[in-house]
Amino acid sequence: MENPDLTVEAEARPSGRIQRANSLAGDVYEAIFAQLMSLKIPPGSRITVDNLVREFDVSHTPIREALGRLEGEGLVVKTHLIGYRAAPQITRRRFDELYELRLLLEPAAAAKATATLDEERLTALREAAGVMARRVGKDERLRYSNFARQDAIFHDKIMEFAQNELIRETLNHQHTHFHIFRLMYHSRVTEEALDEHEAILAAFAAGDASGAADAMRVHIENSRDRLLPAFE
């Protein structure tokens, strides 16, 4: 495969080897996902299947498959007769609503999750947070998109351990992390978040429910403040 993004992704795989027949569709998906998250494909812009076919030097099938998957994740919109577009950027109003929702739900969930944590669950959370810190591959774009996905997994795991599926589904349904990470492509967005995740993990490890709630609140407020300049 000629595309450098795809090559780096192949290197970044834990197996270290690219299983071409099986992973082609997955690699194409990851490459387009990374371009959407890093704004190389700007929000609202048209996405032409033929252009992607040329860019990645693959057939139409994996491109259409990838776009279908991205549509399900709310990152791509398909319109009759027009075709695919990158989903528009969330509005300032929606952004405020999203963070209000997160601040209502996630600190309380973090407190509730604290009581359910055993070693196995703590390890799962540390692992989810740790994957983010790993600087795998040279491609910033892929690193950023992987971080966005891992952040979604980290927060979702806390929701899972808080044991309210309705709250978990409600947040999942918003594809929150994909939308907020697309507001700004900057290393600050990821690096400061890592320290805040550490603080949440420390409270979990200490069995400190109110500490976990506080750390989660601080993390979400800081995340909001980091991304606000995107609207200026």
Q: Which is nearer to Zn ion, 67 or 148 (CB)?
A: 148
Least distance in angstroms from the C-beta of 95 to Zn ion: 16
Q: Which is nearer to Zn ion, 141 or 226 (CB)?
A: 226
What is the contact surface with Zn ion in residues (CB under 5 A)? 151, 193
Q: With contact defined as beta carbons under 8 Å apart, do 180 and 227 qualify?
A: yes
Q: With contact defined as beta carbons under 8 Å apart, do 145 and 37 qualify?
A: yes
Residue whose tokens read 């109003």: 93
CA distance 7 to 3: 6
Q: Which of 122, 154, 147 is nearest to 132 (CA)?
A: 147
Q: Which is nearer to Zn ion, 112 or 177 (CB)?
A: 177
Least distance in angstroms from the C-beta of 114 to Zn ion: 17
Backbone angles phi, psi at 79, to 5 degrees: -120, 135
Least distance in angstroms from the C-beta of 75 to Zn ion: 19
Q: Which is nearer to Zn ion, 86 or 152 (CB)?
A: 152
Q: Which is nearer to Zn ion, 53 or 103 (CB)?
A: 103
**Residue facing Zn ion at closest CB distance:** 151
Least distance in angstroms from the C-beta of 4 to Zn ion: 29
Alpha helices in the chain (DSSP H): 4-12, 20-37, 49-56, 60-72, 92-114, 119-133, 140-162, 165-173, 176-181, 187-205, 209-227
Residue 70: partners with Cβ closer than 8 Å, 6 or more residues away: 29, 32, 33, 36, 76
Size of the chain, expressed as the number of residues it contains: 232
Least distance in angstroms from the C-beta of 197 to Zn ion: 6
DSSP state for residue 137 in the 8-state scheme: S
Torsion of CA 21, 26, 27, 31, to 10 degrees: 160
Q: Which is nearer to Zn ion, 49 or 184 (CB)?
A: 184
Least distance in angstroms from the C-beta of 153 to Zn ion: 10
